[in-house]
Structure 1
Amino acid sequence: MDPQSKRSVIGLVFAAIAMFGFAFALVPLYDVFCDITGINGKTATTPTAASDRVDRSRTVTVEFVAYINPDVKWQFTPQVTQVNVHPGETKIINYLAKNLNPQPSIGQAVPSVTPGLAAQYFNKIECFCFNHQPLAAGQEAELPLVFYVDPDLPRDIKVLTLAYTLYDVSATAQPLTQPNEQVNEVKNVELL
């Protein structure tokens, strides 16, 4: 092989390796970008503390939506489809889940908020999405969500939509014998 062909082959191999490395690095880079900018509606995956201030001069409508991944044999719906809240005001709502499988299965809900910019202002104090949800065959459960909208939410955002997509994680999750306990005790929460 002549030297120019050899350089071309080495250059092409190097380019292929570089493209693979770049594609591999895109996922964590995308996650960091979404965390910084709030784009894609990703919400926090850990609980936050309740707000100590409430903006009673305005209200924000929070809509609730549930999606089920096509391979999941569950029913999954919010008890209410929307609530009006004052930013900083703590609210609690429940989603209802039922395992329609003839055997136990474990679900995991993944949240997103639209508009994407609002995700950084939507705070979950307690959420079923923080944990796997094991349900026996035919078992039903109320899955609580305790949240508030940060008072620093831009005034031009008047409606937020919180959507959960439910996935079956039975194959990858550690088996649990009991469903996760519901919210222990939440103080100063208005039950809807």
Structure 2
Amino acid sequence: MADQKHADTIKARNKRLMLGCVVIVGGMVGLTYASVPLYALFCRVTGFGGTTQVAHEAPADVSEKTIKVRFNADVNSGLHWQFKPDQREMTVKLGQDNLAHYTAENMSVHPITGQAVYNVTPLKAGQYFSKIACFCFDEQTLEPGQRVDMPVSFYVDPAIAEDINTQDVKTITLSYTFYKAESSVEAPDGNEDQGG
């Protein structure tokens, strides 16, 4: 009788342990899906991690001082797109409105919606890098095989040259990573075919 009671106690403990593990794994999966939009919101509000600024127009004064801007593009493994900058770098005048282009192509056989997360490095330059218009402000839906031009209009604030903490910055790298948006259209069977 004691052995049966001991066995029942062990079964009850194992069930609690298994339930606890399922809850932890479920919570981790939920946090994974929520992490991209939450991180993007946090960075936009605080300027953390090299998050750029948003502006309506470039300043009236353009400096003769220049800075090099490099462009980087990545795609999360869950998004079956090709995404790349059309130019690797540009030398721009501080305060001048500039236009750079990226190209994205949906490599799957289904429509997919993506959302870009972005930042600049060095991180201390984020407060001086302002976007006027950008594909990253909204989700982007591409049809199967569709290839699109994605421009970004930006300027680098001339104040970067006056800040003692950024006077050593000669190059800024603008980086984008595209993720599959939560609202993305799914394949009829729930699986996303990578296509060609």
Q: CA deviation at 1:172?
A: 2.4
Instruction: Tell me the equivalent position of 2:141.
Output: 134
The answer to whether 1:64 aligns with 2:71 is yes
Kindly indicate whether residue 146 of structure 2 is the aligned counterpart of residue 145 of structure 1: no
Query: Would you say the 8 A contact 2:42–2:48 is kept in 1?
Result: no
In structure 2, distance between residues paired with 1:47 and 1:88: 12
Report the secondary structure of 2:179's partner residue: strand
TM-score for both structures, normalised by structure 2: 0.67
RMSD after superposition: 2.5
Report the counterpart of residue 8 of structure 1 in structure 2: none
Contact 1:47 1:127 in 2 (8 A): no
State the one-letter code of the partner of 1:31.
F
Alignment of 1:5-44 (within 5 A): 31=42, 35-36=45-46, 38-44=47-53
Partners in 1 of 2:56 and 2:169 — Cα distance? 21
Corresponding residue number in structure 2 for 1:50: 58
Counterparts of 1:138 and 1:98 in 2: how far apart (Å)?
6
| Aligned counterpart for 1:164 among listed residues 170, 176, 193 | 176
Contact 1:61 1:159 in 2 (8 A): yes
Q: For the residues of structure 1 that align with 2:50 and 2:56, how far apart are their CA atoms?
A: 17
How far is 1:77 from its partner? 0.2
Mapped to 2, the partners of 1:174 and 1:52 lie a distance apart of 43
Question: 5+ residue gaps in structure 2?
Answer: 1-37, 161-165, 187-196
Task: Please say which structure displays the higher CA radius of gyration.
Answer: 2
Change (3 A) 1:83 1:75: same
Q: How far off its partner does 1:40 sit?
A: 1.0
